[in-house]
Amino acid sequence: MSEFDAYTSDHAILFDLDGTIIDSRIGIISTLHQVIAALGHAPDVSIDLTWVVGPPLAELMAEVIGAYGDDRVTLAVSLYRRFYDETGRFQTPVFPHMAELLKTLARSPIRLFTATSKPASLAREILATHGLVSCFDRIHGAADDDSGGEKPEMVARIIAQEGLQAHRTLMIGDRRFDISGAHANRLRGIGVLWGYGGEKELTEAGADILVPGPEDLGGAIISQFAALARH
């Protein structure tokens, strides 16, 4: 038994993946450096690429290779997919405490879904590697061609497909995209500080609560469900 057993299947939580459940920074950045090299440039390791974790792939790729005066975005995206599938996806450790929390939530009546800009098929493979795919009622994400990765539209699609109630659903993520996706659909957005957005970005995005560490997330979920019940 856990505190989450008091809820019903009318309650739901949408989880971002990168920077929220898994620490994908190393895999993503190393793959980007491979792409830059494959395009004929010398990767500048002094450039801070932390920000790339979160935005849709084509959007971030245009900016990353643009710094090298390159505009071959379609080729770069194709290379990224190949390199990431070969090596990057294996460099995705789960943040401490997150596996335990997800398994506890999965044993409760609360329905769990991913809402990731990664292709849903890739998200499923990564979560399966960590033994976590069964924690979720469904894995939602972008299509295999990376379309459909914008969070406001994605969250709206998940709500419609799964029959979710906005006043009983939370969105959890580490970037402003997650918070804007939540608020565009009248959900409360929980911002996590162990990811890649940071306090300033999440505060400016209007996160309803900021959570310092994964060990604090369970309490934040309870507090936000309570806030929803009061309104």
Active site residues: 16
Say which residue the tokens 């084509």 belong to.
58
Q: What is the side-by-side strand order in the sheet with 138-142?
A: 138-142, 111-119, 12-15, 169-173, 188-192, 209-211
Backbone angles phi, psi at 110, to 5 degrees: -60, 135
Residues in the chain, how many?
A: 231
Cα–Cα distance for residue pair 87/90, rounded to 1 Å = 6
Residue 126 sits at the vertex; the CA angle it makes with 202 and 175, to the nearest 5 degrees, is: 5
Phi and psi at 14, nearest 5°, equal -100, 125
What value does the CA radius of gyration of the chain take, rounded to a whole number of Å?
17
Q: List % helix, strand, coil for the chain (3-state, nearest 5).
A: 50, 15, 35
Distance CA 134, CA 131 (A): 7
Task: Indicate the burial class of 229 (C-beta count within 10 angstroms; 0-12, 13-18, 19 or more).
Answer: exposed
